[in-house]
Structure 1
Amino acid sequence: MVDRKTLRQVSEELKTRIAQGLYAPGQRLLEKDLVEEYGVSRGRMREVLRNLVGEGLLEFEEQRGVRIRRLDRKDATDLGRLREMIEGLAARLAAERMPDAELERQLVTLGEQMDQTAAASDAETYGHLNREFHDLIVRAADNALLATTLDRLRVPLFRLQFVEGLRRETLEERNGDHQAITRAILSGDGDAAEAAMRCHVRGGNARLAALADRLFL
């Protein structure tokens, strides 16, 4: 088979589906099915799977292949606390780079879209916009090592946080956090941006800790 996609493209597609919960925690991934689904050779898919095992998103089982990694509560807590610090730093760095007219336009546009989806209780769309919001801030931080580290932390947590859906009150609360983060970044206040982001992530960590036991290892 001729590979129609690059290693990075396949990896990003697979990570997105893991984040969205399209593969269940603990689910085995069959190489032959993935080869057909993603349109790549067995060699390329094996390399992708090896890389995702290395990133902690998949687990290798002797004689059984790979499966979606399941987190226990300590794993989730540890990842969440690291994410708080790193996302806080990303917000600070983004604020320090202001003013940036394009960043401002994108943040304002995303804010308006999240206002609408929160009011409509559209948790699925809100989840996608939430990811875009956080990704935008990471890009604005312009720190490749930070971006790589955070990407490894967020995917399994994103799946857990949205797998149960979010109530309108929760969406509106989270959106209020986003508005505070946006105001701080646009004002160029690094201290306030970091504090607002860390508060936001701590809230998400608290909700994650309250999830049902069946979602954890």
Structure 2
Amino acid sequence: MTATNVTYERKQAANGRVDKASNGGTREHIVEDIIRRLYSNELAPGHRLQEPQLAAEYDVSRGPIREALYALAAMGVVEIKAQKGAQIRVLSLEEAIDALLVSQQLAGFAARTAAMEDYDTPQGHRFAAFIDRLSEFPADADTNQTSDLREEFFDVLTALANNKELRRILSAVQIHLIRTQYNFLLREIDPFRVSDYRRIGSAVLAKEPRKAETLARAHIERAIKKLRAFGAPD
């Protein structure tokens, strides 16, 4: 480390604002926390994300804030406009439906591929353990708990499918925004989530690729139908 870097880090430490983005820690934390705040309705679509304010909130310099915003923009969660800065992206109904249609294809592929994998592996054991734990999920779960459940389900499913590109692409679909912006509609289908996951999981573990794919696609279809019905003329 050069003397210049040492001096810089000492100044940052003296100000209580040490950049950790070089090792990914702070940037990833900020990205995850902004998404969490979306799910908890602390942030809403259209909300402006101002670098000075975020830097103060997370107690870092503006460098990792800027990196986090660019990462969120790459995920489709944030829009960055010249002279206007960053804001949480607002999805039109058509954009939300299009994103769900993509998610539907990916979820079906993930379930079908996972059902063709050997589940006598660490990934398979983790998937089976998750399916077993579904019986413990509270019936009165709030939005955050439901969102966490969805994240974990698709995490263990895509891990079993053993396709890194699938995991990357599926995570880029703007489910965070859809769930936040259209939660008033989608929360109506949350009671079906656990039973859907259990049936998909059973088909995967029984090595029934077509059935697993059909069930996964049907799960996403619930959300698509809700949004289409909302947008249909009276």
Q: TM-score normalized by structure 1?
A: 0.82
Q: Distance in 1 between matches of 2:168 and 2:81?
A: 26
State how far apart, in whole Å, the 1-side matches of 2:74 and 2:53 are. Answer: 21
Partner of 2:3: none
- Residue 177 of structure 1 aligns with which residue? 196
Give the corresponding residue for 1:194.
213
Instruction: Return the letter of the residue paired with 1:192.
Output: K
Q: Distance between the aligned counterparts of 2:129 and 2:142, measured in 1? A: 18
Give the % identical residues. Answer: 28
The 3 A distance-change label for structure 1 pair 20 and 98 is farther
Answer with 75-84 or 41-50: which moved more.
Answer: 41-50
Structure 1 residue ranges without an equivalent (≥5):
none
* Structure 2 letter corresponding to 1:3: D
SS of structure 1 residue aligned to 2:101 = helix
SS of residue in 2 equivalent to 1:59? strand
The yes-or-no answer on 1:158 pairing with 2:218 is: no
> Which is further off, 138-147 or 47-56?
47-56
Unaligned runs of 5+ residues in structure 2 are 1-16
Aligned length: 210
Select 2:65's aligned residue among 45, 60, 68. 45
Q: Distance in 1 between matches of 2:120 and 2:36?
A: 28
CA–CA distance in structure 2, aligned partners of residues 143 and 21 of structure 1:
32
- Counterparts in 2 of 1:92-171, with a 5 A limit? 92-100=112-120, 102-118=122-138, 120-124=139-143, 125-153=145-173, 154-160=175-181, 162=183, 166-167=187-188, 170-171=189-190
Structure 1, residues 122-176: CA drift from partner, whole Å, max 9, x if none?
2332332222112211222221211111111132223345456735xx4442222
Which secondary structure state, in structure 2, belongs to the residue aligned with residue 80 of structure 1?
helix
**In structure 2, what is the equivalent of residue 3 of structure 1?**
19
Which residue number corresponds to residue 29 of structure 1? 49
Aligned-pair CA distance for 1:113: 4.3
Do the aligned residues in 1 keep the contact of 2:186 with 2:223 (CA within 8 Å)?
no
Native 8 Å contact 1:30 1:65 kept in 2: yes
How far apart in 2 are the matches of 1:104 and 1:16? 28
Give the SS at the match of 1:66.
Answer: strand
Between 107-116 and 44-53, report the one with greater CA deviation: 107-116
Give structure 1 regions of 4+ aligned residues with deviation exceeding 6 angstroms: none
What amino acid is aligned across from residue 120 of structure 2 in structure 1? Answer: D
Query: Structure 1 residues 124-133 or 25-34, which shifts more?
Result: 124-133
Q: Deviations over 1:91-131 (max 9, x none)?
A: 1121111323544544454345443435x322332332222
Distance 1:73 1:87, change over 3 A: same
| Aligned CA distance change for structure 1 residues 113 and 209 (closer, same or farther; 3 Å) | farther
**Aligned equivalents of 2:181 and 2:127: distance in 1?**
25
TM-score of the superposed pair, with normalisation by structure 2: 0.77
Which amino acid is 1:177 matched to?
A: D
Match of 1:15 in 2: 35
Q: 1:116 to 1:42 in 2, by over 3 A?
A: same
CA distance in 1, matches of 2:128, 2:159: 16
